[in-house]
Amino acid sequence: MAGPVLEMRSIVKTFPGVKALSDVTLTVRQGEVHAICGENGAGKSTLMKVLSGVHPHGSYEGDILFEGDTCRFKDIRASERHGIVIIHQELALVPYLSIAENIFLGNEHAKRGLINWHDTLKHATELLRQVGLDEHPETRVADIGVGKQQLVEIAKALSKKVKLLILDEPTAALNDEDSGKLLDLILSLKEQGMTSIIISHKLNEIRRVADSVTIIRDGHSIETLDVKAEETTEDRIISGMVGRDLENRFPERTPHHPEEGSAPALEIRNWTVHHPIDQQRKVVDDVSIEVRRGEIVGIAGLMGAGRTELAMSVFGRTYGRHAGGTVLKDGTEIRTKTVPEAVGHGIAYVTEDRKHYGLNLIDTINRNISLTALGKVSKRGVVDEHGERQVAEDFRKSMNIKAPTVFEPVGKLSGGNQQKVVLSKWIFAGPEVLILDEPTRGIDVGAKYEIYTVIDQLAAQGKAVVFISSELPELLGMCDRIYTMAAGRLTGEFSRAEASQEALMRRMTKDKKDNEVTR
């Protein structure tokens, strides 16, 4: 067995008011894929920022040994000179520069201040071929998908003669096909002798590519397991992450049976939306769905099926050009042409992109929570700061938001805790209909269970919930009914008893020429 290429010994990292890492130890062998697992806020990303010099030597306690030498990285460039390269969850690409320019940004092929474009394009082409990307190197990054952008990031890392590649949630924003390609590339690089560290919440991916997994909980390294060992099951890893056996991934739920003759809380009829630029293209085509009070209704579909476009266009027409259809609430037609109109009718939308559309990252927890319903904490146009703080404090406790105070900037929270803030702000608004778009994307199983519990409680209170997700087990575990979409059209409707992964996938991949909806 190969010896260690990396040792992190007794790492302690403290931020004001919180100890993020406490005596963490990590050993990575040469040529392996080493996974790091833990709940949101456990300290995984902080540990990798210590390793890569984002948190420089002197700002933490403990030792880092790489290839047998003690390292004291003062910044990220210092770690890169040793061959340690990190790819963060939020990609660091410049969208309006070309692929080649992004690959060599800060590491240009230049002499006397002049860039050698021939060498730049030549080497970029070689790197793209190495990561399995056939795009022209002069293509703008803005013109390729997120999956290909991840491959560009890896090509950029390879250009720096990387020895240890760190990938922080590399598949969080990718569909299944792009995720598969990325995981295959990681395995291919391993065959070439590359050592990798991967942070991921997707345990099936860890079992596919990793050799070892280190579990971190509450800032402590708990244990390191051999992934290939028979006893290292997903349940075993989850138990280490949350500190207890998680017997059920989803709260026990009694299927909802609406009262006979009751009008749906939300009904969308014959909804059609055109693409905002290509106005000949229908992104939502004659879709009709309904959801009743106390019901959780799922929408399943592959990337590009039109699920998010449907949700955003209904919620204040924040996507595309509306071409037709009506929205009814409790049997009465309503206008939702603007976000204030939608909110005024008791409709809330939890976006899949919490960082761009769901939160003000530079503002505090309490400000983010109160934004959707300032009237509840203000009088004559003046915000009652004490009342606002009390509301946020109540949500911090009830939603188990891990932060020292409600005055913590939301941008400093982990993904799972940010998602809890998004849910809190909409629950505070008091909606009757919640549209949840990928509400658990990029968060760990423990935080997922907490969010599932909140959703289940909201339905029990009589809220109508629309649940959009790319994870079929999640839909099967949470929903009373599930609609399927493909190419902008509705292709199926299943009761809880009828639904299965195979049945849903058949309807999600249905030929777009076949317009019949199967029930």
* pLDDT value for 2: 72
* pLDDT value for 431: 92
pLDDT tens figures, 374-424: 888 888 889 889 999 999 999 998 888 888 899 999 988 877 788 889 999
What is the spatial distance between Cα 392 and Cα 366, in angstroms, rounded to a whole number? 5
Below-50 pLDDT ranges, the chain: 512-513, 515
DSSP state, 516?
P
* pLDDT value for 512: 47
For 222-265, give the secondary structure using H, E and C.
EEEEECCCCCCCHHHHHHHHHCCCCCCCCCCCCCCCCCCCCCCC
**Would you kindly state where each structural domain of the chain is located, as residue ranges?**
4-242, 263-346+431-519, 361-430
**Which fold would CATH assign to domain 263-346+431-519?**
Rossmann fold (3.40.50)
The yes-or-no answer to whether 4-242 and 263-346+431-519 have a common fold is yes
Report whether CATH 3.40.630.10 matches the domain 4-242.
no
* pLDDT value for 513: 47
Query: How many residues does the structure list for the chain?
Result: 519
Indicate yes or no: pTM above 0.75: no
Q: 287 - beta bridge partners?
A: 271
Contacts 24+ apart (CB under 8 A), 123-127: 123/159, 124/99, 124/100, 124/155, 127/103, 127/155, 127/156, 127/158, 127/159
